[in-house]
Amino acid sequence: MNAFAYTLRRMVRELAGDGFEGSAAELTRAALGAFWLRSHYLVEYRTRTLLRAFDTRHQVLAEPVRQMVFGTNYTRPAVGEPLPPYAPAEWNRLIDLCKREVRRLGEEHRAMIMLAESGQDPAIGGWSEANQATLLSYTKGRTAEESLVLSPRASRLLEHSALLRRHVPAELAEHVWLVTRQGRPARAAFEE
């Protein structure tokens, strides 16, 4: 989150340095293009993400700017030397973190299923947390051939995340770890 805030401040500062003092609705292709052409990949990626979200919510960008924002990137990520492998201690921390997160999400999932069992159709019983949980459906969606490749535990994890994955925007659907925050789907953020 801090990286996006920093990048947004940088964009505002550099556009102001170019003489642009308007709002997002007044952005031009020339101003935005000049900014992106002198920026590296992450700056363009973050500002595109912010402008897409802003325009999706408020629909204020001019159509030519909107086409740029939702179009193809100007810059590409730099491909360099491969990163050094994790040290054994780092692997152990990562594995422990993943196990804790899987356990926590599994407990939340089981609690939601138990809650759903006590609920009823919201059309009959009205809206309550238990009745909203009856709206969950469980579909395996795997073929026999795929089940031979995945372990039973891995299959359960993917099936668990598939419940939420079907209802998220395309940019979130590609992430393995999805959660809900204040009733909205989000990519999981792990803290050590």
Write down the pTM of the prediction.
0.42
pLDDT of residue 109: 83
pLDDT of residue 192: 44
81: in domain: no
Shared-domain flag, residues 11 and 63: yes
60: in domain: yes
Identify which has the larger pLDDT, 148 or 21.
21
List, as own/partner pairs, every contact residues 153-157 make where C-beta atoms lie below 8 angstroms and the sequence separation is at least 24, other chains included: 157/102
C-alpha span between 15 and 18 (Å, rounded): 5
Grouping H, G, I as helix, E, B as strand and the rest as coil, residue 28 is coil
One-letter amino acid for residue 127 of the chain: W
Structure tokens that stand for 95 in this block = 């594995």
Domain boundary among 69, 104, 121: 69
pLDDT digits (tens, 9 = 90+) for 156-182: 666 766 767 777 788 887 776 777 777
Identify which has the larger pLDDT, 50 or 74.
50
Domain that holds residue 8: 2-69
175: in domain: yes
Domain boundary among 69, 97, 115: 69
Domain boundary among 41, 69, 97: 69
Tell me phi and psi for residue 185, to 5 degrees.
-70, 145
Question: How far separated are the first and last CA of the chain, in Å rounded?
Answer: 16
Grouping H, G, I as helix, E, B as strand and the rest as coil, residue 75 is coil
- The mean of the pLDDT values for the chain is 82
